[in-house]
Chains A and B, each alone.
Chain A
């Protein structure tokens, strides 16, 4: 019997609001424990939540970008359970009336477009963080994260394999970063992905029992975990077993999923409407104002890069991978450089150096203006392409502009024909043997002369002029 997998994703995204969702505390991730706290996010007696407007607007942006319907009227609810990282022992979330619902996102796998439906995106607060590494066998709770704004994005079970899951996560992350609503940093927990996985015989309409894969640290980890889990479930069923509904973790070293806890069938969160907050009302005018703030989406920008700048599909895709990269590129173009040369220098030369240094484009020591200027200096013959790479190295190390580096180190190319001619004549005179070989038809020797001239001029001679002059002078001397 053939099986197919049915996969739905739940992604928690930390919205990059400066303050927490229900109080004015900072959301800074790097502060010392329990410094970004107040009576509200500590769940002190008598404290009340007040919903952060920025959180609502950014959530609506995500909803619109995911083609969701935005609820004109939604509400917050209390989700009740006891745990020390939950300050009030209830989490303020959204239950039956989420802010965004019924959306979709297109993903591409092997050149084929698949549409993944979005069930809902709802606002909630993050919990605190428990630590168990305190002296004396005690556990501690850091409430800095308590009340950090989260958006939970849930898909329909439309995903059919691990590669699609990976493509979905990548597309979602790209979109969120384009919207500038989240850092999407999995290591810092600002993006957390969970996969609900089940299998069923091909052709069957009925869903199999699902397992929930949690706490995976990377997108590729999610992909591997889903792959493993699909095979595991098929094996279990083929060998006559049944799938247990449970939460499973992922062990990246052994490459296996493992049971974390069985889902208590009686887990009852006793949701009810949060009486401390008023309904969230997003009228048409507000939705429209938020819509106006939406940036160009990655897929649209990619197509535009191809038509407007004549880039290949591959180049356009790389350059629109992140919004900062695309913005960097277009800032360069605003300085009037050739789109293809700009693409090449950005994607190959600068990106190579960034990757080596482990830097994001946003942290590039070379500004788009400076990189564009460097290309202009090659175009107008001030420096050669080879020298330009050395100049870029120095720009990368010092953050300096190319003109300063070229001036201070006297790197500008010798394009003065008479100066180059003197060097060429000297070189030809000093190597009569090779000159004779050339004239005898040994074309290979020409490269030797170019090398010698470049060496004598310490690389600054304009290669085109060197070529012309060498041929002229070598042939001249032969005529004499």
Chain B
């Protein structure tokens, strides 16, 4: 008998569509498990029990009437707190949006719903996606299912923890500088940040508009491809979404091999900053690819050292404007003591935002200020172009770049909260990918000596998610990515 908690999305979809199991049974099984295990993990911020069961029964009824079901029929999904849903709340894990109900659904939510997915609820994150540990949530702290004293990574920490602890088959996260890939690596699941423009951002509460991208966290590569097939594509509501035909990622993942694939290893990624065990696990995975007929070449991304600096100028600049709308005028928190317009702004924002969000708003306001714009924002944009050019040149010599997702496995709570810069360094391998608007995928490639997952990152050419998925699928078939289940029960 299948244990539905650990079933992948395709298995669920096939069984529900065939009627061998009801969507209701799967939903109930998962919800019961959430009740039990989330007391330890704290991944969910809201559980939509009744609505999820109602929706599952509706899917079952439609199947009984002979209606064809969607490609995600009955698949239990958790949504990151910053995706707009009419159901429940959309808080971005911030006090300033406590109790906020969105009047509309994000495009990705509408597409998942049309594919007959079942939303179990929403999952935790760093406030406004600003963080790498989910410790910056104003709601609660989420724990790494592999070690409850460790962080799950962030900002999509709730998404990764929920998938890895069997609390949903799929979750959606968002990635601005590594927020899907880094928690996927630290929790041990598959996470893909698509090319910028691949997935509509309409209804994703913006952190940094030129970097943000929505993507799935899953337990298998094929599931990631399936979900991407459902959510990608041009959206008339997002001017930056790419007008490209839907590329059938699931088919691409299942067909073809990796013979002749040129795998690039950036020398700048294998320095002292990388832990020995992460280096070993990553190179081990690369050997698997090599033995399957791939060739390995060293490539160089010379401007990598400037990525973090450029990123923290660009993302904070954009964030300072994006978060200006949270002012207490139309929605969200308005401080009860405010007596004047200025007080309404000052008190509401002072009490509504957490320290990391405030730090970034201040940084962003500063770098855009008259007299500093050229030295910071403009220069960062130039660096961004150089980083993009580095990748363009590297991709002349290779088809996919392989390297670590994170310099270290999961760290303990509080280890980096007092030192923002050290926290920012958690994303040194992921940030360049956002700056260059490329697709990036993280997949487990082993466990550390302390039993914590290690992630391999694959970086692709623009809009070439298919090569990433095909390569990752090959690793998955080799068995090297199978790290087992976290010790929870």
Binding site for B on A (CB under 8 A): 39, 42-51, 78, 80, 82, 84, 87-90, 141, 268, 270-272, 275-278
Contact = CB atoms under 8 A, between A and B. Distances in A.
Interface string B98-115: 001011101000000000
Given A87-B330, A270-B370, A45 B102 contact: yes
Given A84-B341, A277-B239, A44 B102 contact: yes
B42 interface: no
A88 B318 CA distance: 13
7 contacts: A44-B103, A45-B325, A46-B83, A46-B102, A272-B373, A275-B318, A278-B240
B448 interface: no
B202 A46 contact: yes
Given A44-B102, A270-B320, 13 more contacts: A43-B330, A44-B103, A44-B104, A47-B203, A48-B202, A87-B330, A88-B321, A268-B370, A272-B368, A275-B209, A275-B318, A276-B239, A277-B239
A46 B128 CA distance: 12
B299 to A, nearest CB: 29
Contacts of B318: 272, 275
A88 B324 contact: yes
Nearest to B104: A39
Contacts of B204: 46
B240 A272 contact: no
A82 B318 CA distance: 16
Contacts of A48: 201-202, 237-240
Contacts of B202: 46-48
Which of A82, A88, A268, A270 has the most chain B CB within a 10 Å cutoff?
A: A270
Nearest to A141: B329
A43 B327 CA distance: 11
A272 B370 CA distance: 11
B200 to A, nearest CB: 9
Contacts of B106: 46
B102 A272 contact: no
B239 A46 contact: no
B438 interface: no
A270 B362 CA distance: 13
Q: Enumerate the 10 nearest inter-chain pairs by beta-carbon distance, A residue then B residue, closest first.
A: A89-B324, A275-B210, A275-B209, A270-B368, A45-B205, A46-B203, A46-B84, A268-B370, A43-B325, A46-B205
Interface string B220-257: 00000000000000001111100000000000000000
Nearest to A39: B104
A50 B236 CA distance: 8
B97 A82 contact: no
B100 to A, nearest CB: 7
A351 to B, nearest CB: 47
Given A45-B205, A87-B325, A276 B240 contact: yes
A42 B102 CA distance: 12
Contacts of A45: 84, 90, 92, 97, 100, 102, 205-206, 325-326
Contacts of B238: 48, 50
Nearest to B332: A45
B327 A89 contact: yes
B46 interface: no
Given A39-B104, A46-B202, A48-B237, A78 B321 contact: yes
B345 interface: yes
B369 A268 contact: yes
A90 B373 CA distance: 17
A277 B368 CA distance: 19
Nearest to B341: A84
A84 to B, nearest CB: 5
B424 to A, nearest CB: 21
Contacts of A82: 324, 327, 345
A42 B84 CA distance: 15
A71 B373 CA distance: 24
Interface string B173-216: 00000000000000000000000000001111110111000000
A351 B370 CA distance: 55
Contacts of B103: 39, 44
A303 B318 CA distance: 53
B377 interface: yes
Contacts of A80: 320-321, 324, 368
B300 interface: no
A271 B209 CA distance: 15
Given A43-B330, A46-B204, A270 B369 contact: yes
Contacts of B209: 275-276
Given A270-B369, A272-B321, A42 B330 contact: yes
Nearest to B236: A50
B311 to A, nearest CB: 14
Contacts of A272: 317-318, 321, 368, 373, 377
Nearest to B378: A272
A270 to B, nearest CB: 4
B295 interface: no
A37 to B, nearest CB: 10
Contacts of B83: 46
Nearest to A139: B341
Contact of A46 (B206, B210, B324, B370): B206
Nearest to A51: B239
Contacts of B377: 272
Contacts of B341: 84
A125 B373 CA distance: 24
A51 B237 CA distance: 10
A313 B434 CA distance: 65
B177 to A, nearest CB: 15
A77 to B, nearest CB: 10
B105 to A, nearest CB: 10
Interface in B76-97: 82-84, 90, 92, 97
Given A44-B102, A48-B237, A278-B239, A88 B325 contact: yes
A12 to B, nearest CB: 22
Contact of B239 (A50, A78, A84, A87): A50
A39 B92 CA distance: 17
B327 A49 contact: no
Contacts of A47: 104, 202-203
Contacts of B327: 82, 84, 89
B417 interface: no
A46 B341 CA distance: 25
B131 to A, nearest CB: 18
A243 B90 CA distance: 52
Nearest to B331: A44
Contacts of A78: 321
Nearest to A78: B321
A272 B104 CA distance: 28
Interface in B142-170: none
Contacts of A88: 321, 324-325
Contacts of B206: 45-46, 276
A44 B86 CA distance: 13
A80 to B, nearest CB: 6
A207 B345 CA distance: 39
A39 B106 CA distance: 11
A89 B205 CA distance: 15
A276 B321 CA distance: 12
Nearest to B83: A46
Contacts of A46: 82-84, 90, 102, 106, 201-206
Nearest to A276: B209
A45 B129 CA distance: 14
B344 to A, nearest CB: 8
Nearest to B323: A89
A90 B102 contact: no
